[in-house]
Amino acid sequence: DTAVSQTPKYLVTQMGNDKSIKCEQNLGHDTMYWYKQDSKKFLKIMFSYNNKELIINETVPNRFSPKSPDKAHLNLHINSLELGDSAVYFCASSLPAKNIQYFGAGTRLSVL
Amino acid sequence: SQQGEEDPQALSIQEGENATMNCSYKTSINNLQWYRQNSGRGLVHLILIRSNEREKHSGRLRVTLDTSKKSSSLLITASRAADTASYFCATDPSGGYQKVTFGTGTKLQVIP
């Protein structure tokens, strides 16, 4: 069973569209994250939720809205997509004690 | 920002040789972690070293931590072609909900 799964794996869309990425973890972790990895492989945290509560909200355009319906799921909705949003988006989860991150396989978003 | 910087950015070695990657960071940490990312995949946790530890081993991996110099190194001994990947250090300022901050990564190529 995949520990952290995110869908879709690839997302190609036009500028201005709205899209969502879904993430689910079956590790029983309380904390989930969204990261953005750019073309230079720089990995930057965007959001973190602990047991459905938003605890980290980095400087991210408000076109990005995370939603956590329960502690096993964290979705990311992006409005009015821009060219600069093209990147790989990773979902991750962790236990608070050690903060070891367990990553999904990533969603490669291409905005045309 | 507490982002770690890794050195070198890229490293190419022959199979069987040792590979050493370095990470420098800026502020105090509780622990430092190393992750591997294979091409097109998510990051995978390799090893965690706590701030009160100086060295840790796991299989062919050896990690050192020098908190006075705010630096860490990852040594992979007897490298294999399968070790080809990008390697990231990640600093954890504390347990709980503090964010893990990833370094810029070292791209390792092991030539068979």
Using one digit for the tens of pLDDT, what is the confidence trace for A1-33? 679 999 999 999 999 999 999 999 999 999 999
> Model confidence over B1-58: pLDDT tens digits?
446 788 899 999 999 999 999 999 988 888 999 999 999 999 999 999 999 999 999 9
For B95, which of A40, A96, A101 is closest by C-beta distance? A96
pLDDT of residue A1: 64
CB within 8 A of A22, min separation 6: which ones? A6, A7, A73, A75
**CA–CA separation, A8 and A23 (whole Å):** 9
- Which residues does chain A have within 8 Å of residue B38's beta carbon, measured at their own beta carbons? none
* Contact assessment for residue A42 and residue A60, using Cβ atoms and an 8 Å cutoff: no
What residues 53-112 of chain A have any CB closer than 8 A to a CB of chain B? Answer: 55-56, 90, 92, 94, 96-106
- Which residues does chain A have within 8 Å of residue B35's beta carbon, measured at their own beta carbons? 101
> Model confidence over B82-94: pLDDT tens digits?
999 999 999 987 6
> Model confidence over A35-79: pLDDT tens digits?
999 998 899 999 999 888 888 888 789 999 999 999 999 999 999
pLDDT of residue B1: 46
Partner-chain contact A56 B97, CB within 8 Å: yes
> Taking 60 as the threshold, does the pLDDT of residue B95 lie above it?
no
**CA–CA separation, A69 and A60 (whole Å):** 21
pLDDT of residue A68: 94
For B88, which of A43, A44, A48 is closest by C-beta distance? A43
Please give the structure tokens belonging to residue B93.
Answer: 């300022």
B24 Cβ under 8 Å from any chain A Cβ: no
